[in-house]
Amino acid sequence: MPMNLSSLSEARHIVGICGGAVGGSEAAALVAKAGSIAVVFEQNIRPYGKIEDGLPRWHSKLRSKEYAKIDENLSTPGVVFVPGTQLGKDLSFSTLSNGIGLSALILAHGAWRDRSLPIKGVDRFVGNGLSYQNPFVYWFNHYEESGFAGEGFPIHDDAIVIGGGLASIDVCKILNLELYARALGDRGIAVDIEQMEVRGIPRTLEAHGLTPNDFKIRGCTLFYRRGKEDMPLENIKNPTAQRMEKLKGTRVKIMDKVIRKYLVRFQPNVVPVEFIEKNGALNGFVFQRTEIVGGRVLRLENTEFEAHSKQVISSIGSTPVPIDGVPMKGELYQWQNNEEGRLVEGVYGLGNVLTGKGNIVESRRNSKQITPNIIEQVLASPKIPADGISRIMKLIQARWDAVGYGGRYADWITAKRPAT
C-alpha cells in the first residue's frame, strides 16, 4: 500500500534521512521499526548509491544482495521514499534541518566528491587528459545501457592511474579489461568483460590461443606514494607487531595478484609534483620518488622523472560534497561528535559521509551503531503536531508530484530497476 500521507493526522515523530543506500536505508528501517516515520530523500531515481554507481559492475552477486537489503529496508512500513530529491538543490539544508520542523535529520549521502589532485592548476585539464574516479566508474557501470546519455570516457593505452586503495585498483582493472576486450573485438573475438574479470586477462587470451605478447598493449600503470605493503587493500584494527607483518604480506599478495591477473603495472614510492601539458591537454606528470620514514612519506630530492600519457585518472579518495549551510572543516563536514555522528543540534550523519571509509560493511555497521542513539533523542523530544505533519507531508507530496512517484516503493523500483 502507498503511504497515505493525508491520513497522518496524529502527532508523530518524523525523521528526515538524506540518501537511501546502505547507511541511509538501514537507518530508515530502524527508525520506522521504532514507531516513527522515516522520510528518505534520495537524489537519484534509485536508492542504491555506490552499490550501483561505485562498485564496478562485475560485482554482480554482491550488488544483487545489497539491492535486496536496501529494497527490504525501504519497504519497511513507516518508511516514506522521496526519489529524485537532492539536498542542496531541490531542498535546502536549512529547510530540512530546522525550517520544516522534522524531529531530526540524518545525513547518509556518502562521499561523492573526488579529492582533488594536490597540484595547482591541474583541474583545468578535467575532460582534457585528466579524469577522476567517480565519474569514470559511473560511466563504466552504465555506458552499455540503452539510452545512456552520460559523460563518456576514452580508453587509451599506457594510462596513468594515481592512487593506491581498492577503488584505484578497480580503475586499473577497468582500463586494462576494456583495452583487451576491444583488441579482441578487433580480431573478431567477442568477450564479456565480467567473465574476463573472473578469469583474468592472460587466461582469457589463452582460451583463444593468444598471449599478451600477441598484442601491442602496455596497459595502465598505478602510481602510489608508498609501497605495496602499505596499500589499504586489507586492514585490521589495532594490529600487534606480528599481525602487522602478516597484514603487510597479505597486501603484497593482493597487489601481486592484480599485477598478474590484470597485467597492471605498478610504480611504488612516487608522488606527482608537476603536470606536463602538451597542445593544451594534460600529458602526464613529473613524479618525485619517496621514502617512508616512521610511517611518513618523505620526498627524495633530485629524483624527479617524467611519465607521459594522454590519459590520467586520479583515484585518491572521495569526500562529502559541500552543501550550503553544512559546516565544513577543510574538505570534510565539521562533526561536533564523531561517536554520535552529531553535526549540529538535531542533525546527524552516518555511513561513508561520517566515517570517510568506502566500505559497505563499515557503512552498515556505523548506521546500526549511530541510529539507536538518534532514535532515543527523537523519542524523548515532543511529537510533531498535526499541522506540522501536514506541512511536511505537503512538501513530500510536491516532490512526489515533481518526479512522478506514486507512493509505492515496490512498484517504483520494479519499473526503474537497473540491469544487475
Ligand X SMILES: Cc1cc2nc3c(=O)[nH]c(=O)nc-3n(C[C@H](O)[C@H](O)[C@H](O)COP(=O)(O)OP(=O)(O)OC[C@H]3O[C@@H](n4cnc5c(N)ncnc54)[C@H](O)[C@@H]3O)c2cc1C
Interface with ligand X by CB under 6 A: which residues? 18-24, 41-44, 47, 49-51, 54-56, 86-88, 108-110, 112, 137, 166-167, 170, 351-352, 358-361, 363
CB of 91 to ligand X, least distance (A): 8
Nearer to ligand X, 66 or 158 (CB): 66
Nearer to ligand X, 79 or 205 (CB): 79
CB of 365 to ligand X, least distance (A): 11
C-alpha closest to that of 226 among 270, 169, 160, 186: 270
CB of 175 to ligand X, least distance (A): 13
Nearer to ligand X, 215 or 412 (CB): 412
Phi, psi (degrees; rounded to nearest 5) at 246? -65, -40
Q: Looking at beta carbons, which residue is closest to ligand X?
A: 110
Phi, psi (degrees; rounded to nearest 5) at 175? -60, -50
Give the residues across from 333 on adjacent strands.
328
Give the residues across from 17 on adjacent strands.
40, 106
CB of 193 to ligand X, least distance (A): 15
CB of 42 to ligand X, least distance (A): 5
Question: In this structure, what DSSP letter does residue 162 have?
Answer: E
Nearer to ligand X, 183 or 343 (CB): 343
Strands (E), 44-139: 79-82, 104-107, 113-114, 130-132
CB of 352 to ligand X, least distance (A): 3
**What are the residues whose beta carbons fall under 8 Å from the beta carbon of 409, sequence distance 6 or more?**
71, 74, 75, 79, 81
Nearer to ligand X, 55 or 220 (CB): 55
**What are the residues whose beta carbons fall under 8 Å from the beta carbon of 232, sequence distance 6 or more?**
164, 165, 166
Residue position matching grid coordinates 602496455: 218
Identify whether the C-beta of residue 295 lies closer than 8 Å to the C-beta of residue 185.
Answer: no
Give the Å distances, CA to CA, from 23 to 87, 176, 273, 301, 363: 16, 32, 37, 44, 5
DSSP result, 246-285: HHHHHHHHHHHHHHHHH--EEE-SEEEEEEEEETTEEEEE
Nearer to ligand X, 184 or 220 (CB): 220
Q: Measured between alpha carbons, how far is 406 from 275 in angstroms, rounded to an integer?
A: 51
CB of 362 to ligand X, least distance (A): 7
Nearer to ligand X, 58 or 180 (CB): 58
